Chains A and B, each alone.
Chain A
């Protein structure tokens, strides 16, 4: 046993993070195809993909740190994805509520503004 150097420890950590990220991204995509209605499908990919891409970028940052290079681009991508994924999920949920998509559990009546109540479910 020669003991672990810092570089090999970083590589082990990055390999574990890459496996976690692959599992999360795959599960998110399977959720996109398997879940029954849109409001459920919105949950799978947005959360799982955020965690998956966070793990990929963390692994990349650790690897570039072991090579003596600071990963500024990875940090920027992480910040950007973590900021924008909830925003885009919220906007897609607003669009689905506006189009009154059928769901297994319908939203409560006061969640839909008054002027949209009489409109029929559209078929865009």
Chain B
């Protein structure tokens, strides 16, 4: 019973997070300003981390969690680099 409920909740969560990727993509393409696009990338990688973790639960492989950690670290680095570039004009002075 609880396993069936968990499977249903997993399916609903995977569909919802996949749907949450669409507004981020819309904002990434049509965002009126470049900072909007950076924000869209930030939200996009957070949702991608959630999706990878959900897939790891679904497939039962703990190997995917390290991939999620890597995506989180690289996403943070890219967001900071883009924000620094928009603020200062270059990334490393």
Contacts and interface: CB of A to CB of B under 8 A. Distances in A.
Main secondary structure of the interface of A (DSSP, over half): helix
Contacts of B24: 29, 32, 45
Contacts of A41: 27, 36, 39
Interface of A: 7-9, 11-12, 14-16, 18-19, 21-23, 25-26, 28-30, 32-33, 38, 41-42, 45-46, 49-50, 52-53, 56-57, 59-60, 63-64, 69, 71, 73-74, 76-77, 80-81, 84-85, 87-89, 91-92, 94-96, 98-99, 101, 124
Main secondary structure of the interface of B (DSSP, over half): helix
Contact of B16 (A23, A49, A84, A94): A23
Nearest to A4: B2
Nearest to B14: A22
A21 B21 CA distance: 14
A88 B2 contact: no
A15 B40 contact: no
B1 interface: yes
